[in-house]
Amino acid sequence: MCRSIPSRIGRWGALLWLAGSSVYLLGLSVVICGDARFPLNLGAVKTTGRMGLWLTLAPAIVGLLALFLVSFRTRAGTIVLGIYCGFWITVLAFGLPFVWNARTSFCTPTMCIRTPWIGRLLVFGLMTPFASVAVWAQREYGRLRRNIYDDSTL
């Protein structure tokens, strides 16, 4: 089947975002394993230490599984990808009230950015690609479902 250029761009964009976010989460998991007192603050979710691995390592593994399955064009891959994106959209959405009511946007040990709109833009900026990839996964699932070839015949 000949695929259109926008379809290919959407597919590669989704795969790149999935790979980038999963590798980032793996890197963050390594940092958490190395620092027993690592503070992970994702708005509504605040953890310290190895408890943060539940929010980094488990989703990273799910994301890499989705990347593997989607690269082989399976319906299961689009389902896992939808779950992965849905999880992060939910986590970021629950963080919006904390960012919206914050007096400072971003603090490090040496400085604080005092404009909260930067934090709001950052949360919306992270939610947008996850939402776009989730929409792509839903469309890809529908396309694979309509395809005359079943996964078992490939």
Residue range of the domain that includes 101: 5-145
What are 41's strand-pairing partners?
46
pLDDT tens for 97-151 read 877 776 666 666 676 766 777 778 888 888 999 999 999 999 888 888 887 555 5
Q: How buried is 70 (Cβ within 10 angstroms: 0-12 exposed, 13-18 middle, 19+ buried)?
A: buried
pLDDT tens for 59-90 read 999 999 999 999 998 889 999 999 999 999 99
When divided into structural domains, the chain yields a total of: 1
For residues 140 and 43, which has the higher predicted lDDT (pLDDT)?
A: 140
Q: Is residue 153 part of a domain?
A: no
- At residue 64, the pLDDT reads 95
| Distance from C-alpha of 59 to C-alpha of 142, rounded to nearest angstrom | 24
Q: Under a CB-based contact definition with an 8 Å cutoff, are residues 56 and 110 in contact?
A: no
Write the DSSP assignment of 74-96 as a string of letters: -HHHHHHHHHHHHHHHHHHHHHH
For residues 115 and 40, which has the higher predicted lDDT (pLDDT)?
A: 40
- At residue 68, the pLDDT reads 94
Q: Is residue 51 part of a domain?
A: yes
Q: Is residue 152 part of a domain?
A: no
Conformation bin of residue 71: beta by default, left when phi > 0, alpha when psi is -120 to 50: alpha
Say which residue the tokens 């009511």 belong to: 101
Q: Which helix (H) or strand (E) holds 107?
A: strand 106-107
